[in-house]
Amino acid sequence: MNALHSDAFVFFGATGDLAYKKIFPALQAMIRRGDLDIPIIGVARAGWTLDKLREHARDSLEHNGGVDADAFAKLSAQLRYVDGDYQDAATFDRLKQALNGAVRPVHYLAIHPSMFATVVQGLAKAGCAKDARVIVEKPFGRDLTSARELNCVVRSVFPEDSIFRIDHYLGKEEIMNILYFRFANSFLEPIWNRNYVASVQMTLSEDFGIKDRGAFYETTGCLRDVIQNHLFQIVALLAMEPPSHRGYAAVHSQKTEVFQAMRPLKPDDLVRGQYVGYRREPDVAKNSDVETFCALRLFIDSWRWEGVPWYLRSGKFMREKVAEVLVQLKPPPSRLFADSVPATGRANYLRFWLYPNPAIALAARVKREGKEFVGDQRELYLVGERPGQEAEAPYERLLGDAMAGNGALFTREDAVEAAWAVVDPVLKTHHPVHLYKPYSWGPKEADALIAADGCWHNPVPGQVVA
């Protein structure tokens, strides 16, 4: 094991939903690959025993990918458990005993954000933070003020290069491919600017509701839950300038500059929606104004992107479960051919299909056979999925990177605060939600938001853009 690698993995919230669905499957996968041979310490306030946690871990794996007998046996042997209240100093004393001399542990806060500061301070007082790393689950704050306060608390205990603000979206293969595609291909750079790009639109939609997360969603909403983090990260990868040198620090700096160049949102830049039936969900207020859908128009005031509108939307209970980016190019400046600027449909575009079938496609017009100079728009697929290859899951990749001290796929303090500064003006000052039917594409008011630049593309798996 590398001398700088973490020598113990501690995860707070070991009995919670995130651990059940994501962390235990990731840990088993890492053990199966031979990437995890350190003590694994679960911490929770559930009144459980170690045997109970092992049973919980097995149940998690049975429902999330399956149990690998050999890997699970190793996971069970490496697993430890500390039970106690996070506000009780004795809990952290027991954790220090469980660490049993580990000198570089990593602490993963898979807990409610309201407890982040409490746990960080508890680790410091018990002497568990020295030379340690900390992984902080999103959301990192709920507005600019709280993000700054949380950064202040965490930075008072851990240096910046030991803080890993996790956004699992950055660990997805198709998201990392956006960065690679941008800067590994020379043909893209000449057209990747305001002179050739008319607009950019993103859709990240889910075909289910909030499930049992009513209490969480009432304090969060779609803008905070998805757009301010997931979609903003994709915007940054698409809009950033080439890094001045190799290394993740340079990438982080360029991404931060994108957030800093984003124009702060105004109420008219935003359409908020709520699916019919949301107010009947458990733990949801009967008169709730929380959005389960959000569409916004964004501008980046930089030399490259000045005047180019970016349209982002996301929502629950929409028609399809899809994720896509459509970069709309401007039509040719001269109508040499009558149909080179189509009366209906779209001019050339680049499409990043992120889910369910990852692909990158370029739309170009091709002449039909015959004497007439007329043609059709076809998609040229540049990258497609490769069936049969086992992909490393986002949490597996990100946890491994944090243990190794690799911060490439995590967000930095200044980037987090810059992103919050963009949405902060509309978190409290905004128009009321518009109701929309489940399994639709959201409220019709979102169509008016984008009307000046065309219409939303409603992605359907396997369908070419019209």
Say which CATH number the domain at 229 has. Answer: 3.30.360.10
Instruction: Determine how many CB atoms are found less than 10 A away from the CB of residue 399.
Output: 28
Q: Which of 95, 115, 137 is the last residue of a domain?
A: 137
The average pLDDT across 200-217 equals 92
On whether residue 372 sits in a domain, the answer given is yes
**In degrees, to the nearest 5, what angle opens at C-alpha 245 toward C-alphas 242 and 247?**
100
Give the whole-number percent of the chain exceeding pLDDT 70: 95
58, 203, 250, 266, 307 from 262: Cα distances, Å: 45, 19, 19, 12, 11
Sequence-ordered list of residues with C-beta below 8 angstroms from that of 232, at least 6 positions apart, any chain:
259, 419, 422
C-alpha span between 176 and 327 (Å, rounded): 17
pLDDT at 386 over 80: no
11, 192, 201, 342 from 430: Cα distances, Å: 37, 33, 22, 37
Q: Are residues 197 and 131 in the same domain?
A: no
pLDDT at 166 over 90: no
SS (H, E, C) 267-323: HHHEEEEEECCHHHCCCCCCCCCCCCEEEEEEEECCCCCCCCEEEEEEECCECCCEE
Give the whole-number percent of the chain exceeding pLDDT 90: 75
Scored b (16 or more CB within 10 A) or e, 95-126 reads bbebbeebebbbbbbbbebebbbebbbbbbeb
pLDDT at 389: 47
173, 190, 351, 390, 462 from 386: Cα distances, Å: 12, 30, 18, 9, 16
Q: Are residues 315 and 429 in the same domain?
A: yes
On whether residue 148 sits in a domain, the answer given is no
Q: Are residues 192 and 56 in the same domain?
A: no
361: helix, coil or strand? strand
20, 21, 57 from 63: Cα distances, Å: 9, 8, 10
Sequence letter at residue 102: A
The average pLDDT across 151-170 equals 91
Catalytic residues: 230
On whether residue 458 sits in a domain, the answer given is no
Q: Are residues 85 and 183 in the same domain?
A: no
The average pLDDT across 162-175 equals 88
Residue pair 138/166 in contact (Cβ under 8 Å)? The answer is yes
Sequence-ordered list of residues with C-beta below 8 angstroms from that of 106, at least 6 positions apart, any chain:
6, 8, 9, 10, 132, 133, 134, 135, 402, 403
Q: Are residues 40 and 98 in the same domain?
A: yes
Q: Are residues 228 and 371 in the same domain?
A: yes
C-alpha span between 433 and 431 (Å, rounded): 7
pLDDT at 259 over 90: yes
The average pLDDT across 424-451 equals 96
C-alpha span between 464 and 379 (Å, rounded): 7
**In degrees, to the nearest 5, what angle opens at C-alpha 324 toward C-alphas 327 and 265?**
70
Domain at 80, CATH number? 3.40.50.720
pLDDT at 461 over 90: no
Please tell me the least confidently modeled range out of 24-33, 144-153, 383-392, 456-465. Answer: 383-392
Q: How is 345-356 classified by DSSP, letter by letter?
A: S--SEEEEEEES
pLDDT at 383 over 80: no
Q: Are residues 90 and 193 in the same domain?
A: no
Q: Are residues 377 and 234 in the same domain?
A: yes
C-alpha span between 219 and 345 (Å, rounded): 40
Beta strands in 128-191 (DSSP E): 133-137, 163-166
On whether residue 165 sits in a domain, the answer given is no
C-alpha span between 369 and 213 (Å, rounded): 56
Q: Are residues 77 and 212 in the same domain?
A: no
Q: Are residues 112 and 209 in the same domain?
A: no
pLDDT at 375: 82
Highest mean pLDDT: which range of 337-351, 374-388, 396-410:
396-410
Instruction: Determine how many CB atoms are found less than 10 A away from the CB of residue 296.
Output: 22
pLDDT at 384 over 90: no
Q: Are residues 101 and 176 in the same domain?
A: no
| Closest by CA position to 272, among listed 226, 335, 215, 325 | 226
Sequence letter at residue 78: Q
On whether residue 402 sits in a domain, the answer given is no
pLDDT at 464 over 70: no
**In degrees, to the nearest 5, what angle opens at C-alpha 6 toward C-alphas 112 and 85?**
30
Q: Which of 93, 122, 137 is the last residue of a domain?
A: 137
Overall number of domains in the chain = 2
Please tell me the least confidently modeled range out of 72-81, 112-121, 195-204. Answer: 112-121
Sequence-ordered list of residues with C-beta below 8 angstroms from that of 424, at least 6 positions apart, any chain:
143, 144, 264
Q: Are residues 323 and 420 in the same domain?
A: yes
pLDDT at 83: 97
Residue pair 419/150 in contact (Cβ under 8 Å)? The answer is no
On whether residue 154 sits in a domain, the answer given is no
Task: Identify any residues that bridge with 436 across adjacent strands, giving them in sequence order.
Answer: 275
**Euclidean distance between the first and final Cα of the chain, in Å?**
53
Q: What's the chain's average pLDDT?
A: 91
111: helix, coil or strand? coil
pLDDT at 1: 44
On whether residue 152 sits in a domain, the answer given is no
On whether residue 183 sits in a domain, the answer given is yes
pLDDT at 388: 43
Written as six digits, the tokens of 434 are 């518009």
Q: DSSP character for 362?
A: E
Q: How is 404-440 classified by DSSP, letter by letter?
A: HT--TTSB-HHHHHHHHHHHGGGTTS-PPPEEE-TTB
pLDDT at 385: 55
Written as six digits, the tokens of 155 are 């930075």
Print the domain residue range for 129.
8-137
C-alpha span between 412 and 260 (Å, rounded): 13
Q: Model pTM?
A: 0.90
Please tell me the least confidently modeled range out of 43-57, 309-323, 386-400, 441-455. Answer: 386-400
Q: Which of 137, 161, 188 is the last residue of a domain?
A: 137
